[in-house]
A and B are shown apart, each in its own frame.
Chain A
Amino acid sequence: MKNKTLPLVLCVLAGLLAAISAWSFTYITDQRDSGTPLPLKWPPGSVAIQIKLGSTANLSDGTSFNTSAQAAAQMWNTHLGNLQITTSFAPEGPASESNTLNELVFASDIFGKAFDGNTVAVTTVWSRGNERTRADILYNSARTWDSYDGPTRSAIDLQRVTLHELGHLLGLDHPDEAGQSVQAIMNSRISSLDSLASDDITGAQNIYGPAGQPANDSFVNAAIITLSPNNTATLGGYNTNATKQAGEPNHADNAGGRSVWWRWTAPAAGPVTIDLRGSYFDTTLGVYTGTAVNSLTAIASNDDLSASPHIQASSVTFNAVAGTNYFIAVDGFDADCAGLTLNFSFSPTGPLLPVITSQPVSATVTTGGSVSFSVTATGATGYQWTFNGGNIGGATGATHTISSVTAANAGSYRVIVSNAAGSLSSDTATLTVNAPPAPPAPPPSSGGGGGGGAPSFWFYGALSLLGLARLLLSRR
């Protein structure tokens, strides 16, 4: 099986790959999400793999298959923040779907189906929801394997294939399959590259972060935002290994738990838009003024930019006041974490955004009744009401009325108010719809009734009153 001499099967692609012009890593994403799907990832902590490839140290670089694969895992570990791949060895044998182990094995088939002759190795990944739960790496036992550095030979270097397959296990996909030209171990074909490239590392760190806490983890260490001459900024960062401070508010009404902070001083008055598009997790965003984390004044906050299509990146807009310090917190919904992108845009010369002075109020209505939601916004020239995230056709005034409410109207209502400077969303108002009251019930019975039951308390009471009346009348 191994170390046999077979015809040359791998293409040497040295010199092919162009210099890196841009990051181009790609991810295996949650296909349930039709909006902006996020990478499928392991929960923070460790993922244990059991290596069952063989312990005989007779390979070209002096390793065994087991230790060669272990070294590949360690190469990834040095670059990962909130996840580590832990390794153990076991005797050679098949992978089992019946256990919960993540196994690395030589195999001739998967679930009884033979390897395609062109396929060197595959990674099978189980996921539940948006989390990875288990993975096996199967190496085609019909191929000839070795372990070595440098240009490819007729035998396949198990270590670089393991680096590649572990990248799939972590959640990385093929940049070249996404139409990108970049030097990466994650490209779909084996090359003379025998270690992780910058693109591979950056890609993995965008899911699991780099080692250590972010420098802007705490409020007092908020990173300063400096805008470009066109008053924009695109900032990168991570909230992996970040924490939530005592007294810190919930951002966008979610407890979160891994917040990082930025600070910006408005040089002039004008509308500001901040969004987290391009981040690799379900974000929340809050903007505040104040001087201490436990006594902040909320200016704006947001969880999801859009409910339909579902965009889990957050976005806020607000009117900045000249000279004011604004603190921007980025957290993960339910403490989700990964790499983030913060896009900042300021318009010191344009008109100000509308200002909502009166928010729509939640209501409870009985079926068949009517309800109105209203907003008051100074400077607004347009309104668009939404129901559960989707626009309501024709609902473009400051008040939205539903004249005959049905159960289907129950849900969340918001209004987007806009003018030439941009738009902002109101708070959410919830409509609760109650069923109409049940028809009047028959008078309650407490005993009596037909069938020889005992006389009721009321019967005895009435009888006593009657007796008392007769007694009084008879005395007269």
Chain B
Amino acid sequence: MHARRYLLTGLALGLSLLPRLPATTVDAPDIDSLINQSDYVVRAVVKSATAEWREHAGQRYIGTRVELEIREVVKGAPPSPLVLDLIGGRIGEDELAIQGMPKFHVGDENVLFVHGEKKQMLPLVAMMHGVYPILRDASSGEAYVLRSNGLPLYSAQDVSLPMNRLSAVKQQNPSARPLTAGAFIRQIRDRVAIVQPATREK
């Protein structure tokens, strides 16, 4: 009964509150690959998101600087504050959008898989697959992890599933509860410990 309530709450809140993250053509890495490609894995809250005009090789474009307040470091030694440098944003009536680039709003809390190098098109690994919004259940206060499409995550292994495929965990156990932020981070830590640094993709 509780699980159903959590699921329904998560689904409803996830779909209603989260900005949708439009996407482009991206391969979804599995959890180990996500971890291995990340310099940092953090749980963080968006402090500010500022769009600005920029120039590269004579080409003018809009970029957005997203400053994060780190709540928990899961992997790596990120700088503080951690800043994501994104292509795209809106200034007045003008907007540049890369379809698939996640959008960040002040106050959003996410688990993020982050590239350290600033030269990446997107500092998140695999675009929408590198951001996992955290949503708090209003009644219980529990923090749950969602996929970028606003649907609950049931296992860290589900990160590589197509967005419209039901979790195996949920298929086997219809009353399974969505993954809490704490449980997701524990599963990531477990994988970080298992995967040897020498085998990590960089």
Pair from one complex:
yes
Could you tell me the dominant secondary structure of chain B's interface residues?
loop
Q: With contacts A111-B54, A168-B99, A180-B164 known, is A119 near B20, CB below 8 A?
A: no
Inter-subunit contact B120/A113 (CB<8 Å): yes
Let me know if B28 is at the binding interface, CB within 8 A: yes
Q: How far is the CB of B9 from chain A (nearest CB, A)?
A: 15
Give the distance in Å from the alpha carbon of A174 to the alpha carbon of B56 in the complex: 30
Q: How large is the interface on A (under 10, 10 to 19, 20 to 34, 35 or more residues)?
A: 35 or more
Question: How far is the CB of A132 from the nearest CB of chain B, in Å?
Answer: 10
B-to-A contact residues, CB < 8 Å: 15, 20-29, 37, 54, 56-61, 63, 87-88, 90, 93-100, 103, 115, 118-122, 125-129, 148-151, 162-165
Known A118-B127, A176-B149, A176-B163; contact A113-B27, beta-carbon cutoff 8 A: no
Q: Are B28 and A168 in contact (CB under 8 A)?
A: no
A129/B164 contact (C-beta < 8 A), A119-B121, A121-B24 known? no
Interface of A is mostly: loop
Q: Please name all residues of chain A whose beta carbon is closer than 8 Å to the beta carbon of B63 when the two chains form the complex.
A: 111
Q: Which of B37, B54, B63, B165 has the most CB of A within 10 A?
A: B165
B164→A111 contact, CB < 8 A: no
- Nearest B residue to A32 by beta-carbon distance? B90
Q: Mark A416-427, 1 if CB is under 8 A from B, else 0.
A: 000000000000
5 closest A-B pairs by beta carbon, nearest first, are A97-B59, A176-B163, A118-B126, A120-B25, A176-B164
Task: Tell whether, in the assembled complex, residue A112 and residue B119 are in contact, meaning their CB atoms are under 8 Å apart.
Answer: yes
| Inter-subunit contact A118/B162 (CB<8 Å) | no
Query: Can you sample 10 A-B contacts with CB below 8 Å?
Result: A11-B162, A16-B162, A112-B56, A116-B121, A118-B127, A128-B95, A165-B24, A173-B20, A174-B23, A190-B25
What is the distance, in angstroms, from B80's C-beta to the closest C-beta of chain A?
A: 23
Total A-B residue contacts, Cβ distance less than 8 Å? 169
17 more contacts with CB within 8 A, not counting A116-B125, A188-B162, are A16-B162, A97-B61, A110-B98, A116-B121, A116-B122, A116-B127, A118-B28, A119-B26, A119-B127, A125-B97, A127-B97, A128-B95, A168-B24, A177-B148, A177-B149, A179-B150, A188-B23
B25 near A165: Cβ-Cβ < 8 Å: yes
B126 partner residues in chain A, CB cutoff 8 A:
116, 118-119
Nearest Cβ on chain B to A124's Cβ, whole angstroms: 5
- Docked CA distance A440–B118 (Å): 67
Chain B residues lying within 8 Å of A110, measured Cβ to Cβ, are: 87, 98, 121
Complex partner residue of A119 from B25, B97, B118, CB under 8 angstroms: B25
Partner pick for A31 among B59, B90, B165, CB 8 A cutoff: B90
B57 (CB) vs chain A CBs: closest residue: A112
User: What chain B residues lie within 8 Å of A189 (beta carbons)?
Assistant: 25-28, 162-163
| Contact indicator B95/A127 (Cβ below 8 Å) | yes
Q: Is the CB of A177 within 8 A of B128?
A: yes
Collect the chain B residues with CB atoms within 8 Å of residue A116's CB.
Answer: 26, 115, 120-122, 125-127
CB distance from A445 to the nearest CB of B (A): 49
Distance of A11 Cα from B160 Cα, bound (Å): 10
Q: How far is the CB of B20 from chain A (nearest CB, A)?
A: 6
CB-CB under 8 A for A118 and B60, given A113-B120, A168-B99, A188-B23: no
Answer yes or no: A50 CB below 8 A from chain B CBs: no
B128 neighbours in A (Cβ, 8 Å): 177, 188
Instruction: List, in ascending order, chain A residues with CB within 8 A of B149's CB.
Output: 176-179
Shortest Cβ gap from B200 to chain A (Å): 14
A36 at interface (Cβ–Cβ under 8 A)? Answer: no
Contact with B along A174-199 (1 / 0, CB 8 A): 11111111100001111000000000
Partner of A128, one of B37, B87, B94: B94
Residue of A26, A113, A178 near B87 (CB, 8 A) is A113
Tell me which residues across on chain A come within 8 A of B54, comparing CB atoms: 111
Q: What residues of A have a CB within 8 angstroms of the CB of B60 in the complex? A: 97-98
Shortest Cβ gap from A129 to chain B (Å) = 5
| Residues in chain A near residue B121, CB distance under 8 A | 109-110, 113-116, 119, 122
Taking the closest CB of chain B, its distance from the CB of A163, in whole angstroms, is 11
CA distance A128 to B92 in the complex (A): 9
Whether the Cβ atoms of A179 and B129 lie closer than 8 Å is no
Q: Which chain B residues border A182 with CB–CB below 8 Å?
A: 164
The residue of chain B having its C-beta at the shortest distance from the C-beta of A164 within the complex is: B25
Minimal Cβ-Cβ distance residue in A for B11: A179
Closest Cβ neighbor of B28 among chain A residues? A189
Complex Cα distance, B20 from A192, in Å, reads 25
Contacts of A392 in B (CB 8 A): none
**CB of A223 closer than 8 Å to a CB of B:** no
